[in-house]
A and B are shown apart, each in its own frame.
Chain A
Amino acid sequence: MTILSGLGARARGLFNDVKGPWGPSGGDGGGGGKKGGGGSGGGDGDPPSPGPWGEPAKRRPRGPGPTSNVSSLDEFMRRSKARFGGDGGGGLGGGFPGRPNNSIIVWGVLGFVLLWLLFTTMHRIAPEERGVVSRFGRYSHTLGPGIGFTLPSPIDSVRKIDVENIRNIDLGTTGTETLMLTGDQNIIDIAYSVRWNIRDPELYLFELAQPDETIRQVAESAMRAAVSRVSLNDAIGEGRGDIETQVADIMRQVLDSYRAGVRIQGVAIKQADPPNAVNDAFKEVTAAQQEAQSYVNQARAYALQLTAKAQGEATSFDKVYEEYRLAPGVTRRRMYYETMERILSKVDKTIVETPGVTPYLPLPQIQKSQPREQGQ
């Protein structure tokens, strides 16, 4: 209710003051002083003074007081004149009572309009941007890089779109698993990223409601379709490049059918692995391959060794045989004696010559001496 009375007082105050700046505005300054004590104090205490030029700055309301707002348009103009230094005492106003300093207002408005025109007619478009101009909401043309001129603001509006920036969508992470089914009903964990940029900024702005989300969903769907056509071994191994090009092709096809105005630069598979749960089994296969290789290597080493040994022995026999053939009996004796020398010099020997001596061989002692020698 105080609000209503305050409003009423304000309205009355407005119309009362129209009598003139020199006439007192009456007690309405005091009447509406229910709400907001601060500013209304000024209105309550002093009635508006008799002269428009004698207004000190303290008339300006310090707080949100409704009664101080009760002052009229004239009050406002008085105050603004005081702000401007009170120059034009009576001169600028001329014979226009109640409207002093009209031309300052006019100049102000004119300056504002000029600035507005300046800022909304000229547009600077960076080399990687394009400006989509819509006239009253309808698309009219696209500005290229440089300075572009359009009609001022409410008529034309320009939106600048970065068309060279290549954006990245990451799908699936290397930390968590993103599983997909392959063509042979196996499961693969895949992480990939898609690079795209805007090709037609006007289509990008006006065709799809959520272009970024759309591209992401199309990417997921395309990758799923591509993975479901290959087998697990291909996807993990050499088929990755194929999958990437297929995904890019499918995405291009779908997005062009939506008229999305984007260009897919490429798809990169960051990781294509079997899921964690079966990783050990896959490692088994690798281990088995290593083992098989090591079997073969060992066999080859054995073969080499054997062949070398055989060849060596054969060659040495051949050489000796050549010698032997030249003088068989002599060579045979010589070899015999040489071998015996070598052997008998290294062994314990006992020669029993004289007949009639009963040879007594203390076998246990001999046997005992052998282990002792062996021990040493």
Chain B
Amino acid sequence: MMALIRRRPMLSGLVGLFLLFTVLGSFPIVPETKQAVVVQFGKPMRILNRYQPNEPIGGPGAGLSWRIPFIENIVWIDKRVLDVDMDRQQVLSTDQLRLEVDAFARYRIVDPLRMYIRARSEERVSDALRPILGSELRNELGKRPFSALLSPERQGVMENVRRGLDRVARQYGAEIIDVRIKKADLPDGTPLQSAYDRMRTARLQEARSIRAQGAKQAAIIRAEADAQAAKTYAASFGRDPEFYEFYRAMQSYTTTFIGDGGETPSPTTIILSPNNDYLKEFTGRGR
């Protein structure tokens, strides 16, 4: 045996390598993130690292495993949480208003055997679930009025969608963890524009009412001030109306004929007769 090896080193080297690879291949390493179906000539034999709910990381499924070389084949399936992303869908509410909804669903393969039989790969599962997600969403949301569509979580709408989608996903060996809406917007065009118009008119109305309030307050303040002033005048001038008459007349003459410091009035010419009260002493007292 040793002589044979020595005589044909290359051949024995090759044979040795071949044996090594075979041995390595029959002990596959199963990572934490994957589960596998061991298939013998197309017939599934057993499952490695099957998903169990509530199993902690580092459970016994992963690690080193075995297979019969050349006869058995391993199909790897992702064990992690995967996602299905939906295209934008238009949803019609019961009151005939449209909404564009963008949703996503998270799922996990819990039955790898069934998935292998039905779909073979995760992309095929995603592709199969996507249109169903869309139609479930449209159905559920189409049963509600528009105002309920804005916050569907409150009425458990998304839970219904999840349940409906889950029923289909079980046939592919998957479990839907949840369905959430990423975006819900008004479609472009008329609905969006009419929403903008509504916002604009509401704002303009608010602006007008604010201005009116301001004007009203201003008028009240002015009126109060006027009343206060009148009261002050009355309190003071009312004590002697006759003297007030004289006093006020004097002021008035001053303002009219020479101004009160603000503007100079137009020049005046006064014609006095000697019978004027002012010129009473002018004529000399006829004593």
Contacts and interface: CB of A to CB of B under 8 A. Distances in A.
B45 interface: no
Contacts of B273: 351-352
A320 interface: yes
Interface residues of B, number: 97
A352 B269 CA distance: 13
Contacts of A140: 58
A314 B235 contact: yes
B207 interface: yes
Interface in A328-344: 332, 335-337, 339-340, 342-344
Interface stretch (A160-168, A219-227, A263-271): A219-227
B98 interface: no
Nearest to B82: A209
Contact of A225 (B29, B153, B199, B254): B153
Contacts of A350: 269-272
- Interface on chain A toward B: helix, strand, loop, or mixed SS? helix
A186 B202 CA distance: 11
A348 B233 contact: no
B83 A210 contact: yes
A277 B196 contact: yes
A310 B233 contact: yes
Nearest to B207: A288
A73 B244 contact: no
B177 A206 contact: no
A282 interface: yes
Contacts of A209: 33, 78, 80-83
Interface string B109-146: 00000000000000000000000000000000000001
A299 B219 contact: yes
A242 to B, nearest CB: 15
Contacts of A206: 32-33, 57, 80
Contact of B266 (A136, A335, A370): A370
Contacts of B224: 303
B240 A137 contact: no
A259 to B, nearest CB: 8
Nearest to A314: B236
Nearest to A293: B214
Given A287-B207, A324-B243, A347-B268, A307 B228 contact: yes
A193 to B, nearest CB: 17
A202 interface: yes
Given A140-B58, A207-B80, A349-B272, A292 B221 contact: no
A205 B34 CA distance: 12
B211 A73 contact: no
B150 A214 contact: no
Interface in A320-376: 320-321, 324, 332, 335-337, 339-340, 342-344, 346-353, 359, 361, 366, 370, 373-374
B151 interface: yes
A288 B211 contact: yes
B229 A307 contact: yes
Interface stretch (B6-14, B15-23, B67-75, B160-168): B6-14
A337 B104 CA distance: 100
A163 to B, nearest CB: 16
A187 interface: yes
A223 to B, nearest CB: 10
A202 B31 CA distance: 13
A258 B107 CA distance: 10
Contacts of A272: none
Question: By CB atoms of chain B within 10 A, which of A140, A309, A314 has the most?
Answer: A314
A238 interface: no
Contacts of A315: 236
Given A209-B80, A225-B153, A288 B208 contact: yes
Given A137-B31, A288-B207, A292-B210, A342 B246 contact: no
A221 B82 CA distance: 17
Contact of B63 (A138, A186, A203, A275): A138
Contacts of A310: 228-230, 232-233
Contacts of A18: 7-8
Contact of A179 (B185, B225, B233, B236): B185
Given A206-B32, A208-B81, A296 B218 contact: yes
Interface string B191-220: 010011011110110111011011101111
Interface string B168-198: 0000000001101111111000001001101
Q: Which 6 A-B pairs have the closest CB atoms?
A: A292-B214, A303-B225, A299-B218, A138-B63, A288-B207, A310-B229
24 contacts: A14-B10, A73-B9, A134-B62, A138-B59, A138-B63, A180-B183, A183-B150, A187-B196, A209-B78, A209-B80, A218-B180, A225-B151, A225-B153, A281-B207, A288-B214, A302-B222, A302-B225, A314-B235, A314-B236, A321-B240, A346-B258, A348-B267, A348-B268, A349-B270
